[in-house]
Amino acid sequence: MGLRIARVQLDPHSDIGARDVAAVTREVDWLGATGDERIFHPLCGPGTYASVIRRSSGCRWYVGHDINASAVRWGRQRNPDRDYVFRTARFGVGTRVPRHDLALLSYEAVNVFAPDELPTILAALADGLAPGGRLFIDVRTPDDPGVPIGVRRSEHVPAGTGIFSTAEHDLDYATQLDCDGRLLVQRFRLRFGHRDEEFFSWLWLYEPDELVALGRAAGLWPSATAHLHPRSVQNTNGANGSVQMLFERSGAAAPRGVPC
């Protein structure tokens, strides 16, 4: 399945599973890197960000982590330079963060972490950032989760074309928000005729103000906010509702703790 997900992520014109190349280019341009940064990119996907950085500003080095070994293989293949390193690794609470100048929490990466673990994640990234270093966050917000909420019409998936299975099946896709509108759950039900299989994924939708407060608590100061991506029409899992934020590591670490 990892291989099939990575193939979907590689589509340069789709936002399904990974940002499309035009969106990545807009984000990298907005970051205005000097080329001297050491870049840490947890949840890096199949190396699209690295490719765009390599062809624009460049960097001192880039380290990407992804839990999907197929995405990591693509990342290496697309970025064969010695200074671009990809690791199959789960990023989370307790992961060792290398000393770096720019951290990328790109497409949905911050939304993967629940509010009980995000403060620890931000603190670890802040600890790894050199003074004056920057953290980029692309966040999905409660205003517009980026996917239509409800049940979508069943889709027939011919053999060899599905993401979750190579066998022929029907795919029922549904999304739901919790009563506070903060937890987005996606359900993928595969119907094979004699049996069904279900997969769920979830994203926590954060308000930009909440991220500002969590960032400050970790010693990260907000320096810019943007809406870089126009509403996406070519697929349902588009760029709608996402906000891009940039934080700077202050010289002295602020006291830790979740602000009220």
Ligand X SMILES: C[S@@+](CC[C@H](N)C(=O)[O-])C[C@H]1O[C@@H](n2cnc3c(N)ncnc32)[C@H](O)[C@@H]1O
Residue in 170, 174, 152 with CA at minimum distance from that of residue 162:
170
Nearest approach in angstroms of CB 62 to ligand X is: 13
The residue number whose beta carbon is nearest to ligand X equals: 45
Q: Which amino acid appears at position 260 of this protein? A: C
Residue in 208, 39, 19 with CA at minimum distance from that of residue 110:
208
Nearest approach in angstroms of CB 20 to ligand X is: 9
Binding site for ligand X (CB under 6 A): 9, 17-19, 42-45, 48-49, 65-68, 71, 90-92, 106-109, 112
For ligand X, the closer of residues 1 and 159 by Cβ is 1
Nearest approach in angstroms of CB 49 to ligand X is: 6
Q: Is 105 exposed, middle or buried (0-12, 13-18, 19+ CB in 10 A)?
A: buried
For ligand X, the closer of residues 232 and 250 by Cβ is 232
For ligand X, the closer of residues 22 and 213 by Cβ is 22
For ligand X, the closer of residues 37 and 108 by Cβ is 108
Helix, strand or coil for residue 50?
A: helix
Q: Which residue has the tokens 């599973």?
A: 17
Nearest approach in angstroms of CB 56 to ligand X is: 16
Q: Is 212 exposed, middle or buried (0-12, 13-18, 19+ CB in 10 A)?
A: middle
